Every structure is written in structure tokens, then in C-alpha cells.
A and B are shown apart, each in its own frame.
Chain A
Amino acid sequence: MSLPRDFVRAIEAALPGDAIIREREQLLTYECDGLTGHRALPSLVVLPQGTAQVQAVVRACAAHGIPFVARGAGTGLSGGALPVAGGIVISLTRMKRVLEIDWASGRIVVEPGITNLAVTEAVAAEGFYYAPDPSSQQVCTIGGNVAENSGGAHCLKHGVTVNHVTGLELVLPDGELVELGGKGLDPAGLDLLGVVVGSEGTLGIATRVTLRILRRPEAVLTLLAGFPTTEAAGRAVSDVIAAGILPSAIEMMDALTIEAAEAAVQANYPAGVGAVLIVELDGVAAQVEEDRARVEEICRACGAGELRAAADEADRARLWRGRKAAFAAMGRVSPSYYVQDGVVPRTKLPLILRRIAELEAEYGLRVGNVFHAGDGNLHPLVCYDHRVPGEFERAREVAEKILFACVEAGGSITGEHGVGVDKACSMPLLFGEHDLAAMNRVRRAFDPASLANPGKVLPTPRLCGEVPGPYRAHPIEVAGLGERL
């Protein structure tokens, strides 16, 4: 779709030539994010440098009614950065500077295009780190983390992105600039940071982000426990939480994902087990030591055979490498796989794992389970062969049924990957008409013209193929598989 000539002139006036991409071959890079099944070619991609350029671009979009999609590294898994027809993509990857490290305040101020890991690297020498650590942390950007409210393995104890962002400079969808928060906490008024973080680029574009940095703990201990079944491992997770222990991370991998990870990175996981747990404890040394004894006791009581602690930093890094490489490693055991992201209350882990096993048997498809068990955040990987006709559709069905089981168990349709386009039509599983309407009103307060990442997060008739009205049935409801909460 071609853009109005006046609009293109405004963009050309605002940005240097090398910051505008319009060749089809180059535009293809931006046609999807990590959710590669959804693709759309943007009309134009811009790579602004600095807040003023972002503002100028957004102002031009507002003046001409052109929708825009902000994008970081494009690692998102819900299509949040999927271009919008007739719109442009604003890539923030050229804005990746550290602007300030305020050691005395425990804050770092960065541009949105910096990678998550680069933030920790910037403060590591002084013994600090940035806590949220999504598995894609080597490439994903802070701007993307802010948009998605990204989590990671260690958010069980230390919280997700929203708990670590203290300030944002935000370009609103009309091009105006607002400063939300700062270095201090508890500013007067509404918690605007709380609603902007995780709004998936629909409320504006963050051009500067102030983050909390934490002191590295005195002690870190990583335990690896092998269990006969995922159910036994799931029970251990529940028991650890119920015992009042708060590890920094509890991760689970099942036999299939262990096999894949071992093949990829030789993480040295025990052979022949049904599941492993990686339990990490951090804090003051005496507490870590005591918690370790109790965690080991609970794991043994739940049937753990092999139980060992990482011997040193290299060993610890190896254990985590296996976990963090698990998604990519699945390519070694299956030609294709479908990544799901769902959440259940922690006590429902054994239940949901049984349900997943039933679905595997029913559909004859393997499902790899690798997930943040401590907070009930599942990432089932449904394996299929894209060359076999119909298998993709069946894999999707399994993934959808897992999601439905999560909701039925009192959980959520996404713990960290976001709604994006992928799950916008599943929102009615969790939220009723009035809930979605209230969210939409907040969106309108920020973006009355619906230009910022339209079609994401909230279901629309165009996207979901149904007429808006007092009641919209979700396909799962229609199929008689469930009812509205």
C-alpha cells in the first residue's frame, strides 16, 4: 500500500536518508517478529535516533492518520511487532546508549534499543545487575521488554519488568512527550508506569527508560534435581513454595526438552530421568544454605534421584545454558514446533501436566515442557512436522486446548509472551465485554485515533471475524469446550 506523498516528505524532512528503509528486500526483514506464522510487509521502516526524531515521525503519522508499530529486536513471540497494513514500522535499534548510571541511587538510564544483557554488562563491574532476564536477553531490547512486561527465569523472586522500571520518557501517539516517574518511587497520581509497561506498544513509544539495578547477592546456589516424572517434579515445586521458601528461580524441563538441550549444549543433565528441576537460591549466605537443605529434603521426598549443586560459576552457567537454549534446541528433535505460553496457579501444575500428557496421547504429537515452574508459567512446545499435511493445524489445536486448560484451572492465556495478534481473539476467554471495554477506554485516553500498534492486545471484529455486540463467543466456547468466566 502506498503512503501519502506529503507524509513521506515529512518523514524525509525529519530523518537522514539512511534512516529510512523502503526497498522491498530490506522491508522483508521487518515483516514479522518471533511469531513467524504472521507476516505483513510494512510500507516503510524508519530508524530514528533520539527522542526528537521519534517525535517527528509520530507527529507525521498523527497528522496523516498513518498507523505505526514500534519495534525492538523483533524477538517477541506474539506478533506484537507485526506491521500493520498501510502503516510504518519505527525501529528503535539505533537508540541503544546508556545515558547515565546513578550508582548512589541504584538506577540506570538507557535508550530503548539497548539489549537486556547489555544493561547488566554495563553495571557488572561494580557488582550490580538488572534482574529481569528473558531467555532472549542477549538480543531482546529494553524497549521490547517494557512493551511486553517481560519476565524471565528469575522473576519468581525478583519480579518482572514492571517492578524494575522507575521512569519512562514516552512519546504519546499524538507526538507529545511525557515523563512518567523518575528515579524515585511512589510519585503522586495514577500508576501510569504500571499500565504503560506491558501495553505492547499501544499507548506510546518509550524513548528513555530508567531501571532499578540490584546488588549481586552474597550467595547464589544452583541445584539440579532429576525426577522420575514431570508430575513428581511439579509436586516438588508446590511443596517448596508451600514450605515458605522463595527461590530466585525454579525451572522445569521434561525428558524431551532435556534430550534436545543435551544434544545442543551438553548441559550435563542427568540421563534417563522424566524431568529435571533447576532451583536457584540467592541472598545472604546463611539463608541460602538453610534453604538449600530444605529444598533438597523436599526434592528427595518427591522422588528426586540425582541431586547436585553447581560446583562453580562455569558449571552454573552450563546448567542455565541448557535451559535457555531449550527452545532453539527443539529443532534438533522435531522439524517444527509451536510455542505456547500459559499460566496456572502453582498448585495446579500436576493437573495441567496430566492434561498435557492426555493431549499428547490423543493427538499423537509430542509436547516438550520447559517452563518457569515456580510461578506456574508453562511453555509447552508442541512438536509437528510441517511437511505432513494437517499436522500444523493439529499442533495448533493441541496448543489451544492447553491454553484453555490453563484458563479453566484459574490461570491466564499469557504469562510473558504477550497477547499481540496471536491471542487477541482469546482475550474473551479471560475477560468479559465490560472488562475489555474498560481497557479500551484507557487505550483511547492515550490514543484516540488508534494509530499505535492497532489490532493488538484487544480483540476487534476485523481481527476476530465476529460482529461486535453485547456478547462475543470465543471459538472454544462455540465448540462447547468451555464457558465464560
Chain B
Amino acid sequence: MSAAPPAPASVRPGTLEEAAGALRAAGAAGRTVSIGRDGGDVILSTAGLTRILEHEPGDLIVIVEAGIRLSALDAQLAAHGQLLALDPPGDPTVGACLAANLSGPRRHRYGAPRDLVLGATLVLADGTVASSGGKVVKNVAGFDLAKLVCGSEGRLGLIARVCLRLHPRPAAARTVVVPLQDSAHAACLASAVLRSTLAPSAVDVHWPGRLALLFEGSARAVADQVATAGALLGAVEAGSDVWSEAGGRQLAARGRVSFAPGELAALLDAWPRAVVRAGAGAAYVPDPVADARPAGVRVLEERIREQLDPQGVFA
């Protein structure tokens, strides 16, 4: 009879130094660490790293510990009429947004975590604390490790502190939708939007079903665009539940596809259900998808991982 594997230990550092100590200890004991999920001998939680370290409204930046959840950060920012323009479903932590490259409908206008992160402090597997970037919106000094760790799934280092770019909270927001007949119809409408002078914050296809656009800005500018979208596409106004419903579907999705936006129809033909960022070329699909990375890219990623975590501490 074989013994059951030992239950993973858990550690919840409250400071950068504690996190570094935990990683050093795990490395010395030859144990692997996973951050915020199963997989390692030790599970490191960032629930103790949730402080807002600096918010300078005039500079539209905020520096946070990466364990803070988006809702907690938003409460602080809302009081100053600002927002972090990341709206993935499920209220993840800032660190998870970077590590798993999470975004939501507003990705169309504001980009992904990699477009909003200005600097990051990482704790590497050997306990070294390394920072890159800074707290200004324009900065080309050194290699941008804060972007590099976006999508790293916690395997390059612990993302401990993050400096993020903020945006003004729009005065008004309205949603319009067009019911879709088929994939060709969807592609035709999406293309019409992208080639128009409309400036939507979101251009989603919720498949099967509808094209959904979000307009944000001053009340009059938003009203104008709602009217234009009505004339151009036959779009009708809808409630914000459109976005929460799509968010639920995105959260349940187990696969993600990156595609050329011009090939929207083919994407929709290939997937019976999908939440699609039509302008970005990113789709959330129900089933896991095969890793589309070329072999050369995987080799390169592995070399970077070996450099930053030669012992393979991060599981």
C-alpha cells in the first residue's frame, strides 16, 4: 500500500521580505512552489499582500501589492474619478491579471495588463527582489520585465508589486447590440465598426447571439455614437447585463484563441460558442485549445525560465 502524497504546505507572506524568505526556504529544502493555485509542494498565497502603496491621482498612476483584488482597488480609485481599465470577470487579483494575462471587454480600447503595467517588482526563485520599469507613463530604461511576466502563470517569479497606469472614469457609458444571423453577418458588422470613426471601448461578439458595443465618454459623445451605431448597424440599446452575462461565459471558458481579426467568420464557424474580442483578435472558447506557440517560442520561454529559476522552484 503506497502512502498518500503529503498535503501541500501553505504560506501567506505579509511582506516582500517574508515572500523572499519563503522562496529561499522552499528552494533550500528542494520543494516546489506554486503561487495561488495547486501544483507545488508549497502553495504561496498573496492574500497578505494587498496594500495600496502609492496613488498619485494627478499622475494617473497607482502602485499596489499584487495580492489586491480589482474590486478593492476600484473602491479607492472611484473616489478620485479614476479607474484601472482592466475588467476581466471574477474579481481576480492584480497579480493574477498579469500572470494569466486577464482582461475583459474594455481590452479593445485600453489594452491588456501588458499595456497598463508601468513597472513591477518580482521575487525570483532564489529570493532575489528585482524591479523593472518605474512609475512614469513613458520609460524605456532597461528591459521591460514587467511586460515579460505577463502570461508567465507564476513560473518566472512572484509578481509582488505593480505600478499601473490609470484612466479617468468616463462620465457616461451605454451599450448597444445587434442580433447576429450567422458568422458572415458578424464579420460584416465587426468590420463596419472597425472601419468607422466610432470609438467604442468594447467590440465583442457573444456567439451565438449578438455583436455588443460599449461606448464611454461624455454624455453627448456617447449619445452621438449610440445614434450613429443605430444608423450604421441597426444596433439597439441594451442594459449592462450584456457584459455580466458575457463575463460569466468568459469565466467558464477553458480555452483562448488568438486570431487575425479579419478571420472572424472562420473563427465563429469553428466554435459553436465563444466570447470574442473582435477588434483585438482574442476569443474565449468552451474547450481547451492546443498550444499554438511555435516550437522556437517554447524553447525561448524555457531558456528564460531556466535563467530566472534555474532550480525549477516554481511549479
Contact = CB atoms under 8 A, between A and B. Distances in A.
Contacts of A416: 138, 140
Contact of A105 (B58, B263, B277, B304): B263
Contacts of A182: 258, 260
Given A107-B260, A184-B280, A284-B217, A438 B130 contact: yes
A186 B297 contact: no
B301 A190 contact: yes
A412 B134 contact: yes
Interface residues of A, number: 93
A195 B143 contact: yes
Nearest to A183: B260
B308 A244 contact: no
Interface in B122-162: 122, 124, 128-132, 134-145, 147-152, 156
B58 A347 contact: yes
Contacts of A181: 258
Contacts of A159: 111, 115
B251 interface: no
A439 B143 contact: yes
A27 interface: no
Given A183-B261, A416-B138, A190 B58 contact: no
A431 B143 CA distance: 11
Given A178-B297, A184-B261, A186-B282, A442 B307 contact: yes
A423 B136 CA distance: 18
Interface string A398-417: 00000000000011111111
B56 A345 contact: yes
Interface stretch (A31-39, A215-223, A311-319, A326-334): A215-223
A190 B111 contact: no
Given A215-B194, A215-B195, A286-B221, A347 B59 contact: yes
Contacts of B124: 438
A439 B220 CA distance: 47
Interface in A182-209: 182-192, 194-195, 197-199
Interface in B212-230: 217-218, 220-221, 223-225
A172 B114 CA distance: 23
B234 interface: no
B131 A178 contact: no
Nearest to B135: A410
A254 B115 CA distance: 32
Given A155-B138, A184-B281, A434-B129, A190 B156 contact: yes
Given A172-B300, A442-B308, A437 B128 contact: yes
Nearest to B118: A412
A290 B218 contact: yes
Most chain B beta-carbon neighbours within 10 Å: one of A149, A216, A286: A286
Nearest to B259: A184
Nearest to B267: A184
A478 interface: no
B61 interface: yes
B136 to A, nearest CB: 5
B168 to A, nearest CB: 3
Nearest to B215: A284
B145 A284 contact: no
Nearest to B155: A190
Contact of B197 (A189, A216, A244, A437): A216
Contacts of A415: 136, 138-140
A419 B140 contact: yes
A481 interface: no
Interface stretch (A46-54, A299-307, A443-451, A466-474): A443-451
B279 interface: yes
Interface in B89-136: 101, 103, 107, 111-112, 114-115, 122, 124, 128-132, 134-136
B307 A285 contact: no
A187 B260 contact: no
Interface stretch (B32-40, B175-183, B237-245, B288-296): B288-296
Nearest to B142: A439
Nearest to A282: B199
Most chain B beta-carbon contacts within 10 A, residue among A345, A347, A410, A438: A438
Contacts of A180: 297
A238 B151 contact: no
A441 B308 contact: yes
A105 B259 CA distance: 9
Nearest to B131: A435
A296 interface: no
- Pick from A107, A148, A417 the residue with the most CB of B within 10 Å: A107
Contacts of A172: 300
A192 B300 contact: yes
B237 to A, nearest CB: 17
B149 A190 contact: yes
Contacts of B132: 431, 435, 438-439
Nearest to A203: B143
A434 B143 CA distance: 13
Contact of B294 (A162, A178, A431): A178
B14 interface: no
Given A246-B167, A414-B139, A194 B144 contact: yes
Interface of B: 56-61, 81-82, 101, 103, 107, 111-112, 114-115, 122, 124, 128-132, 134-145, 147-152, 156, 167-169, 187, 191, 194-199, 217-218, 220-221, 223-225, 256-263, 277, 279-282, 291-294, 296-298, 300-301, 303-304, 306-308
25 contacts: A103-B195, A104-B262, A151-B138, A159-B111, A163-B111, A178-B297, A178-B300, A182-B260, A185-B281, A186-B112, A186-B282, A194-B147, A197-B144, A215-B195, A244-B81, A284-B225, A347-B59, A412-B139, A414-B141, A430-B142, A435-B131, A438-B122, A438-B130, A441-B308, A446-B300
Given A106-B261, A186-B103, A441-B307, 4 more contacts: A186-B281, A189-B297, A283-B217, A414-B140
The 6 tightest CB contacts between A and B, nearest first, are A194-B147, A104-B262, A244-B168, A184-B281, A184-B258, A438-B130
